[in-house]
Amino acid sequence: MNAIAKAIDTLNDVFGRIIAPLIAIITIIVLYDIALRFFIDRPSDWAFDITKMLFGAHFMLMAAYGLRHHVHVEVDVIKRLLSLRKQAILDVIGYLIFFTPFMWMLLSLGWSFFMRSFSRGETTYGMMSIPVYPVKGVIFIAAVLILLQGIAIFIRAVQQLREERT
């Protein structure tokens, strides 16, 4: 079991490190658009839409990496006072009650949301037709990665419970 948790950690680490630099690309695109407008009075046809799409993809795809590194906001006022065993119990309950339904929703509805866009070849409707379905598909991919990381956390919590018992 531990090997599975470790493999998930590694996967999300690698993936997060690949996605993170998108934030720099977003910056460069916005600056490029400003520069075009300022210097040659010809703003770019694609910068606005691409910036928005990369932004949406970036933070969603970083979410699993964030979960792996405990960056997501949680209020541990009470949890910190408890024993490791009780903390593990809270984790197990929390991941079952809140996390699982949310991920189920993101996965099932996220997939059909993507398919509705993909099957029609949905694009932006500006001067350029930029496909919209990749960024819509991001919800599903992000959900898979977050779910995997949740499974890793869940495995460790269960292991914690077992160790305490023996």
Partner 1 sequence: AKEKWTMTTTWPENLALIEIDRHWVELANKLVGDELEINFRAGGTLMPGTEVFDATETGSIEAAGDWPGYWAGRSSAFSPLATTTSLFNGVDYLNWIQQWGGFELYQEVYGKYNMVYLPYGITNNESGFMGRTPIKNLADLDGKRVRLSGRDQGRVLEELGGSQVTIAGGEIYQAIERGVIDAGEFSTPGVDYQAGFAEVAKYWATPGWHQSASVFGVMINKDAWDELSKETQEKLKIAADANLAWSLSWSERGSTDGAVKFEEAGVEISQFSDSDLARIQDITNEVIVRGACEDKMHAKVYHSMISYMENYANWRDISAPFNMSRTIDNLPSLAKIEKCL
Partner 2 sequence: MNLSPEMLTLVMFAGLIVGLFMGHPLAFVLGGVAVIGALVGPGLNVMGTLINNIYGNAMDNYVLVAIPLFVLMARFLNDSGVTEKMFDAMRLLLANLRGGLALTVVIVSVLLAATTGIVGASIAVMGMIALVPMLKYGYNKELSAGVIMASGCLGILIPPSIMLILMASYSPVSVGALFAGALVPGLILGVMYALYVLIICYIKPAYGPKVPPEERAQTSTGELLIMLFKYVLPPMALILGVLGALFTGLATATEASAIGVFIAFLLFLIFGDRKLKTCYNTLIDASKTTTMVMLVLVGATAFTGVFSRGGGMSVISDLVLAMPGGTTGALILMLFLVFILGMFLDWTGIVLLSFPIMLPIVEAMEVDMLWFVVMVAVVLQTSFLTPPFGYALFYLKGVAPPGVEIVDLYKAVIPFVALIILACALLTIFLGW
Half-sphere exposure (CA, 13 Å, Cβ side) for 137? 10
Q: Which stretch binds partner 1 (CB under 8 A): 6-14, 42-50, 61-69, 96-104?
A: 42-50
Q: Give the span between the Cα atoms of 120 and 122, in whole angstroms.
A: 5
Q: Is 131 helix (H, G, I), strand (E, B) or coil?
A: strand
Q: Tokens 């970036």 identify what position?
A: 58
**CB nearer partner 1, residue 77 or residue 127:** 127
Q: Which stretch binds partner 2 (CB under 8 A): 4-12, 60-68, 154-162?
A: 60-68
**Contact predicate 143/107, CB 8 Å:** yes
Site for partner 2 in 84-123 (CB under 8 A): 87, 90-91, 93-95, 97-102, 104-106, 109-110, 113
Binding site for partner 1 (CB under 8 A): 37, 41-43, 45, 48-49, 112-113, 116, 120, 122-127, 129, 132
